Structure 1
């Protein structure tokens, strides 16, 4: 799985660029609340995806059959955390909710697009090649 995690660096790099762009767009559209809320949403999405990768890769070391249950568990936990974060932002700074939500969406789209492009270009064998030969 180490080869298959090679997408993390490009995904974080793209997320950083998107966070900067989100901060500028948030500042222009909403003001100071948008300047921090939009990149915070991007960061939440990126950290959520990276957390899933870490959790699935960790459980894969124990038993490959545990990867699907762990992926489903992390998905459920991420949804709860995102809804809790949206509720917290809405409760404390209602003006920041739209840019925060847009940041989450933008971060998810950027991450998934980068990961898909990386996977398309990657040379990953679909079978385990033995080093004994």
Structure 2
């Protein structure tokens, strides 16, 4: 293999991350709407909360995607356990944060919660859009 061929072929992990831009675009669209709405309804602290919420969702999805892509590049048998571990870790961390800051009077807390929900929906919408258009090879098994 020549160095030219190496440059043209995407890496083992990078080629498993083609879905990330669509999800990030979905989160960016939510960010564009959530921050001004939160600023109008809750002021600068609300805008900050909304931005933190959207950024948190985007970062968590990107890290999950990287972890699963890494696992898949090692062995396809690692994909499910790593995916479940990242899922459990994210929701455990979210639970800890909710318990720790649930009684907070910070004005950005509610906008952050709404932004988290909207960003999850935005990410999933972007991912669905990508999956509907992605050229993913598959094998159809003939039932006998």
Query: Which TM-score band (shorter chain)?
Result: 0.7 to 0.9
- Structure 2: how far apart are the matches of 1:53 and 1:94? 31
2:28 corresponds to 1:30: no
Work out which of the two has the higher radius of gyration on C-alpha atoms and give 1 or 2: 2
* 1:68-127 C-alpha deviation (Å, 9 max, x unpaired): 111111001111222333445445553222111111101100001100110011111024
Scaled by the length of structure 1, the TM-score of the pair is: 0.84
SS, match of residue 107 in structure 2: helix
Unaligned runs of at least 5 residues, structure 1: 128-133
SS at match of 1:31: helix
Residue 135 of structure 2, aligned match among 94, 107, 123: 123
Deviations 1:29-80 (A, max 9, x none): 1112111001211111111111111001111122111111111110011112
* Equivalent position to 1:62, from 49, 56, 74: 74
Alignment size in residue pairs: 127
Instruction: Return the alpha-carbon distance in structure 1 between the equivalents of residues 109 and 99 of structure 2.
Output: 9
